């Protein structure tokens, strides 16, 4: 047997206690990887995030993206863009994505 088979068996058994232990093992392993290879850690973190939430940005990720934008960075805060979105009744775009898009278009205004 190998690790993949062990994990499959644990998942198939469906015991909550075993799943929690597996989660703890994964978290501990990722912390070790983080100390030795930050790029590998970030890749694994992103894979886990996508498994959990799909291809949607969270507020923290959006703020990181906006703050790295050049030449302007953040022009409007998350709260400001959310308030604007509500005032204008723009409901067909996620508020986090609206924040990123609005800040990325500053050069057009």
CA–CA separation, 44 and 96 (whole Å): 23
pLDDT number for residue 106:
57
What size, in residues, is the chain?
A: 109
Using DSSP's 3-state secondary structure scheme, residue 33 falls into helix
What's the pLDDT score for residue 34? 96
Q: How many CA atoms lie less than 13 Å away from 69 in the CB half-sphere?
A: 20
pLDDT given for residue 39 in this prediction = 96
From first to last of its 109 residues, what are the pLDDT tens digits of the chain?
699 999 999 999 999 999 999 999 999 999 999 999 999 999 999 999 999 999 999 999 999 999 998 878 898 999 999 999 999 999 999 999 999 999 987 555 5
**pTM for this entry:** 0.65
pLDDT for residue 66: 94
For 84, 101, 102, the CA distances from 108, given in Å and listed in that order, are: 17, 12, 10
């Amino acid at each position: 047997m190998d690790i993949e088979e062990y994990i499959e068996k644990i998942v198939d058994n469906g015991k909550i206690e075993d799943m929690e232990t597996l989660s703890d093992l994964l978290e501990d392993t990722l912390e070790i990887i983080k100390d030795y290879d930050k790029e590998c850690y970030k890749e694994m973190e992103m894979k886990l995030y996508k498994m959990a939430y799909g291809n949607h940005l969270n507020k923290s990720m959006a703020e990181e993206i906006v703050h790295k934008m050049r030449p302007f960075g953040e022009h409007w805060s998350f709260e400001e863009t959310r308030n604007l979105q509500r005032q204008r009744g723009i409901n067909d775009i996620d508020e986090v994505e609206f924040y990123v898009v609005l800040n990325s278009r500053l050069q057009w205004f």
